[in-house]
Amino acid sequence: MHTLSEFPNLFILDHPLIQHKLTLMRSKERSTGGFRTLLHEISLLMGYEITRDLPMTTERIETPLQAMDAPVIAGKKLAIVPVLRAGLGMAQGLHDLVPSAREGHIGLYRDHETKQPHEYLVKLPPAEGRLFIVVDPMLATGNSAVHACDVLNRHGVADENIRFMALVAAPEGVRVFHAAHPNVKVFTASLDSHLNEDAYIVPGLGDAGDRMFGTK
Ligand code: URA
């Protein structure tokens, strides 16, 4: 994992397995099924890094040989919040790691003219004492990411209790996001070059939702 001085709070997960799988996903030859499987695998690997600093405590247990104070994750409850629809493809990997996590949903669609997000669904677990991990594969303009975190703030979740997980990010979007939510850590597998005139990430991987679900 590394950071760049220009982008405080952006953590680039450069593990070889993540990078290799991302390259496979980017290829336009990848099938829908292959794309989905790889996204699931990468979110498992990213989830491993994102949860690295969860607070720990110990619990008294007995092994077959003796009693011990063994490490366990301290009572911090987790919520996974995919931004619909593409975020769904990254949520299951986190659930596999933390089966007790609650799942909320934020439904946004992007107006193709204005590039602005429109909210059509918000369903969230109680905020109290929870760490919220928002997942959306593409952090492009940053508008949806900002909107999703605004929704969580309205719901009573402070920025300190939010993390954002994106597969690929664009510098433009990271800047917009940090201006609005400077205390939310963003984890990504790649900081790509730029956005094109249609607000797609370049080189990116195309439309993540379409590639995941086989739509157009
Ligand atoms: N959303 C996508 O799915 N892909 C992009 O490149 C940008 C936004």
* Model pLDDT, residue 110: 75
Contact by Cβ (8 Å): 168, 193: no
Q: Of all atoms in ligand 1, which is nearest to the CA of residue 204?
A: 6
* Residue 69 placed within a domain: no
* Residue 70 placed within a domain: no
**Helix (H/G/I), strand (E/B), else coil: 168:** strand
Distance, in Å, from the CA atom of 94 to the CA atom of 50, rounded to the nearest integer, reads: 10
pLDDT tens-digit profile of 121-152? Answer: 999 999 998 999 999 999 999 999 999 999 99
* Residue 63 placed within a domain: no
Give the containing element (helix H, strand E) for 63: none
Give how many domains the chain has, as a whole number: 1
Q: How far is the CA of 215 from the centre of ligand 1 (A)?
A: 14
- Average pLDDT for the chain: 95
* Model pLDDT, residue 113: 80
Q: Tell me which of 112, 168, 190, 200 to substitute to probe ligand 1's pocket, judged by most ligand atoms within 8 Å of the beta carbon.
A: 200
Q: How far is the CA of 207 from the centre of ligand 1 (A)?
A: 5
Q: Tell me which of 25, 90, 138 to substitute to probe ligand 1's pocket, judged by most ligand atoms within 8 Å of the beta carbon.
A: 138
Question: Where in the sequence is the domain holding 121, given as residue range(s)?
Answer: 2-50+77-213
φ, ψ (nearest 5 deg) of residue 33: -65, -40
pLDDT tens-digit profile of 62-113? Answer: 999 999 999 998 877 999 999 999 999 999 999 999 999 999 999 998 777 8
* Residue 18 placed within a domain: yes
Q: Of all atoms in ligand 1, which is nearest to the CA of residue 200?
A: 6
Nearest Cα neighbor of 164 from 127, 207, 134 is 134
CA distances from 182 to 118, 133, 160, 179, 185 (A): 23, 16, 10, 6, 8
Point out the least confidently predicted range of 16-30, 77-91, 98-112, 158-172.
98-112
* Residue 56 placed within a domain: no
Q: Tell me which of 25, 147, 172, 205 to substitute to probe ligand 1's pocket, judged by most ligand atoms within 8 Å of the beta carbon.
A: 205
List the alpha helices (DSSP H) in the chain.
Answer: 16-26, 32-50, 88-97, 143-154, 171-180, 208-213
Question: What angle (nearest 5°) sits at the alpha carbon of residue 71, between those of residues 65 and 77?
Answer: 135
- Closest C-alpha to ligand 1, atom 2: 207
* Residue 120 placed within a domain: yes
Q: How confident is the model at residue 45 (pLDDT cuts 50, 70, 90)?
A: very high
* Residue 60 placed within a domain: no
* Residue 67 placed within a domain: no
Question: Which residues, judged by CB distance below 6 Å to any ligand atom, belong to the binding site of ligand 1?
Answer: 86, 138, 140, 200-201, 204, 207-209
ipTM of the complex: 0.95
Q: What CATH code is carried by the domain that includes residue 103?
A: 3.40.50.2020
Nearest Cα neighbor of 45 from 191, 192, 212, 167 is 167
Q: How confident is the model at residue 154 (pLDDT cuts 50, 70, 90)?
A: very high
